[in-house]
A and B are shown apart, each in its own frame.
Chain A
Amino acid sequence: MKKLLLIISVLLAFSFASKAENLRILAEAGDEATLTVAIAQFEEANPGVTVEASYLGWDDFMSTIKLKMADNNPPDLAHGNQGFTVDGTLIQSGLVVSLEKYADQYGWKDLFASGALAEFMWSDDGATWGSGSLYGISPVAEDVIVYYNKNKLKSLGLSVPTNFDEFENALKVSKDAGELPIALGGADGWPIIHVWGLVEGAYVDPNQTRSWIFNAKNTDFSTSDRMMAAQKLADMASAGYFGSDSLGVGYDDANATFMDGQGVFNLTGTWMTADFNSGMGDNVGAFAMPRASGGVAGGGSFALPWHISSKSANPDLAAKFINHLMSNDFVDDLMGVGRVPAQSPTIDPTSNLQAEVIAASNALVGANAKTFYTDWATPGMYDTVTQELQKVIGGAASAQEFMDAMAAESVN
């Protein structure tokens, strides 16, 4: 009898032990606040599940993620990054699985307009991007929009521009009044990509830009519309709309001085919303960049995609966690941590600025105007575009030289 009891208790203990499941997540540090909330909820809703998340800052994350996923013991769930450099390589090497099965099971594709998830779609050999199977997904939208100093705009006698000409005029009036028209941290290079994305978007059909990013080798970069945009950026730089020192100022410093009251406009991403809101309160507003011929233009995309490792012992649990992030219930939690949900929220915005940011984001989604980021196009594009844009801003290259260098990198 004693023996039987022992066997039963051992079996029972074993069955409990095997019920305890573990999910390992590796995320870019910008997601920490979001995941902290999500993990607590997920663990409570799924007893026996433990979620271990670790975080790395942007540079460290991006330079190591491929090696970490190629490891014999990779995280079950990890961020990637849109484009051939990270996502394409992960898929090519078979390190992450297609999410089609889970997308059908949980209905993720029904959450968004058709084509909206193209940035996560790949051919199964990782060679073609923009169509094919779903390999990643994110619940967060990141849009590049225009933030502005409300008091300054008002005291300059200006209102929120409704087309690009009005925006340009606002820059001129600001400059003439001795204000810094646009706060830009050009020393870091990549913030200029956001500025370029908005100026390009003002002139170039967003479909053309997206096609080029998905397939740069076979899509014409040097269109006359884009040349016009490049010339416009060069003109803005030579008119002094970015100030004379922007290439000597980093992104964080530029944002700090903007919050400090220097600079009328700041062309950057919605990830700055919470910071601007706490730094400027009701003195900061936001709008989507108006196009030259009406409508809106915007850079931006979904936030970093979630991928499930092909070596994960429990991909279903990983998918279940992704679904927790994608669920309707979680939308309001995203708002709570100051992010812009890709799905419409059900609660009121937590601040005036968040309301304006969500309106701008909705306008961009509604117009299907989001054009991603230029550097997604090729593995070498980040370097080329940041260097060439610095040259344009610093007056060291003409618009034509910029266009030529970009076209050359596109087919590289």
Chain B
Amino acid sequence: MKNIYRPQSKIDYSSYLYILPAFIFYLLFVFFPLVDTFFNSFTEWNGIAEKKWVGLEQYAKNLANKKITSSIKHSFILIIFYSFLPIILGLLIAGLMIRVKVKGMSTYRAILFLPQILSMIVVGIAWRWIYAPKGPLNSGLDFFGLEEVSRAWLGSFDYSLPFVGLIGTWVMFGFTMILFIAGVQKIPSELYDAAKVDGAGAISEFFNVTLPNLKGEIVVALVFTVTLALRNFDLIYITTGGGPGTSTMIPSMFIYKKAFQMNQVGSASSLGIMLTFLIFTLVSLILIIFRDKK
């Protein structure tokens, strides 16, 4: 006699129906453009006329273009501001929160998280005003008698990149903080009690209990913020447009300029693929370095 119930032997195809809309959407707007871009990256194409197959020529040209390689350097500098600084600040706040209980903490948290929910365009325009020659930052400096220091921050060849970066720090710091605070709340309080019994101070407690237990959150924060630092476009576009000169130029600005201003869609595509590959490599590296050794 055959068994009537054959659990897991039959796939319920109706479940696939539920993910179908999202899958079609993904296929149309993520997968096809990606494949198309990959194909275009081996061509010379002005966006309208016939595509001309040129093999790896666009990649070679991009690598030989000093403006592009220096823009990648700028991206790496931005990683410090978009990723490392927010993570350090977030950890600091999370560490403090364990020791110090402040009244109305949830209000502070909400305020600090606010930049994260604002559109980058709004953020960019607000900070352009803050950094303007007669903006609040310079007015503040002048008030304290620091006229020597005040300047057009975003118009300066030396300061524009770090000051754009600091906007990124301001935006991302709320995200890392919320992530780490949530992580800290998961850490069993027995661990802290044990640390106290062992006579650990605030610093020792942070490095021996808090930090190791936040590893998962740190990896998430790293992946998220490093990706953003490399693919970020809107903030630079709004605040400096890559200038002055090329001092805040980043690869995504080049992609935009090549595709929409210079009729070089093939070259823009190859740069896009290179950027995707770079992000993929860095994210893989982060995951490999922090993977759990079992």
Which residues of A come within 8 Å of B, CB atoms?
62-63, 66-67, 70, 85, 89, 92-93, 95, 186-189, 244-249, 253, 379-380, 382-383, 386-388, 390-391, 394, 396-397
Closest to B150 in A: A245
Q: Assess A186 versus B261: contact at CB under 8 Å? Given A245-B151, A247-B152, A247-B156.
A: no
| Whole-angstrom distance between the Cβ of B146 and the nearest chain A Cβ | 15
B244 touches A93 (CB 8 A): no
Residues of chain A lying within 8 A (CB to CB) of residue B136: none
Q: Which of B49, B154, B243, B260 contacts A189 (CB 8 A)?
A: B243
* B152 & A245 in contact (Cβ 8 Å cutoff): yes
B260 proximity list for chain A (CB < 8 A): 62-63
Q: By the criterion CB–CB under 8 Å, are B243 and A387 in contact? A: yes
Q: Does B46 reach chain A (CB closer than 8 Å)?
A: yes
A245, B243: Cβ atoms under 8 Å? Answer: no
B window 174-192: CB within 8 A of A: none
- Establish whether residues A95 and B48, one from each chain, have CB atoms under 8 Å apart when the complex forms: yes
Whether B257 contacts A186 by the Cβ 8 Å rule is no
The complex places the Cα of A387 from the Cα of B247 at a distance, in Å, of 9
Contacts of A387 in B (CB 8 A): 242-243, 245-246
Contact in complex: B262, A187 (CB < 8 Å): no
Cβ contacts A to B, 11 pairs, < 8 Å: A63-B261, A67-B48, A85-B263, A92-B49, A93-B49, A186-B244, A249-B155, A387-B246, A390-B245, A394-B244, A394-B245
| Chain A residues, CB < 8 A from B257 | 383
A244 touches B152 (CB 8 A): yes
> Residue of B at shortest CB range from A393?
B244
Tell me if A85 and B244 are in contact (CB < 8 A): no
CB distance from A396 to the nearest CB of B (A): 5
Point out the residues of chain B lying under 8 angstroms from A70, CB to CB: 48
B40 interfacial by beta-carbon distance below 8 Å: no
> When the two chains form the complex, which single residue of A63, A93, A394, A396 contacts B48, counting CB atoms closer than 8 Å?
A93
Which residues of A lie under 8 Å from residue B245 when comparing CB positions? Answer: 387-388, 390-391, 394, 396-397
Within 8 A of A (CB), among B43-89: 46-49
Main secondary structure of the interface of B (DSSP, over half): loop
Shortest Cβ gap from B33 to chain A (Å) = 15
Smallest CB separation, A72 vs chain B (Å): 13
Residue B240 CB within 8 A of the other chain: yes
Contact of B241 among A92, A188, A246, A253 (CB under 8 A): A188
Report whether A186 and B46 are in contact in the complex, using a CB–CB cutoff of 8 Å. Answer: no
- Contacts A189-B241, A394-B245 aside, 20 further interface pairs with beta carbons under 8 A come to A66-B263, A85-B263, A89-B49, A89-B263, A186-B155, A187-B155, A187-B240, A187-B243, A187-B244, A188-B241, A248-B151, A248-B152, A248-B154, A249-B133, A379-B261, A386-B243, A387-B245, A388-B245, A394-B157, A396-B245
| Bound: A380/B46 CA distance, A | 13
The residue among B133, B152, B243, B245 with the most chain A CB atoms within 10 A of its own CB is B245
Q: Is the CB of A248 within 8 A of B157?
A: no
Query: Which residues of chain B (236-276) have a CB below 8 Å from chain A?
Result: 240-246, 257, 260-264
B132 near A249 with CB under 8 A, answer yes
| Chain B residue contacts of A187, Cβ below 8 A | 152, 154-155, 240-241, 243-244
Of A63, A379, A390, which one neighbours B244 at CB under 8 angstroms?
A390
- A245 near B133 with CB under 8 A, answer yes
Shortest distance between the CB of B64 and any CB in chain A (Å): 13
Write the nearest CB–CB distance from A410 to chain B, whole angstroms. 15
Q: Please give, as numbers and ranges, the residues of chain A lying within 8 Å of B155 by CB-CB distance.
A: 186-187, 245-249, 394
Taking the nearest CB of chain B, how far is it from the CB of A320, in angstroms? 28
Is the beta-carbon distance between A248 and B49 smaller than 8 angstroms?
Answer: no
The 7 closest A-B pairs by CB, nearest first: A248-B152, A248-B155, A247-B155, A245-B133, A63-B260, A245-B152, A390-B244
Cβ contact within 8 Å between A67 and B243: no
Residues of B within 8 A of A249 (CB): 132-133, 152, 155
- Name the A residues within 8 Å of B133 (CB-CB): 245, 248-249
- Assuming A248-B152, A379-B263, is B244 touching A391 (CB within 8 A)? yes
Residue of A nearest to B256 (CB): A63
Judge whether B153 is part of the interface by a CB distance below 8 angstroms.
Answer: yes
